[in-house]
Amino acid sequence: MTDVRVEIKKAEPNGAPVTTAKRYRAQVTLYIEGKDGSLKPSGWSTRKEHGADDKPFEFQPGKNLIEGWSRGVLQMKQGERALLHVPAALGYKDQAVGQPGGTFYVPANADLCFDIEVLK
């Protein structure tokens, strides 16, 4: 099975490693990743520049998240920003999420890319 690829965009060398023992807050934008590496907005973001309210998303790795998100953030440190490239097998698999043409939609078998910043 393909694993999550974590592409660090803003490193935080002195940040504490993300663990399954804590809850975190993050700014997140979700994209559908094409086979050619292109990114298409899914419609879900917490960031103001994407029309959201800028309220961070709260999460705990391993709890009520897709497997790829948890695997990816566990390779990060607090304060870092990264792109988490998540294959469909570690995402929503063969299940579509949201509504086509709606404000949020992920088609079945979609590879995902989360632009995530784990806040300090």
> Tokens for 59?
């999460």
The candidate with the shortest Cα–Cα distance to 76, out of 68, 66, 84, is 84
Q: Are 20 and 74 in contact (CB under 8 A)?
A: yes
- Report which of 8, 25, 24, 32 is spatially closest to residue 81, judged by C-alpha positions: 8
pLDDT over 90 percentage in the chain: 91
| Longest distance between any two alpha carbons in the chain, whole Å | 42
pTM: 0.93
Q: Which residues of the chain have pLDDT under 50?
A: 1
Q: State residue 22's pLDDT score.
A: 96
**Cβ 24 vs Cβ 59: under 8 Å:** yes
- Report how far residue 25's alpha carbon sits from residue 16's, in angstroms, rounded to the nearest whole number: 14
Domain containing residue 60: CATH number: 3.10.50.40
Q: Write down the pLDDT at residue 72.
A: 97
Predicted local confidence at residue 120, as pLDDT: 87
Residues 74-87 have pLDDT tens digits of 999 999 999 999 99
Domain, as residue range, for 77: 5-118
| Nearest-10 Cα torsion for 82, 88, 89, 93 | 130
What is the total count of domains within the chain?
A: 1
* Six-digit token string for 56: 């961070």
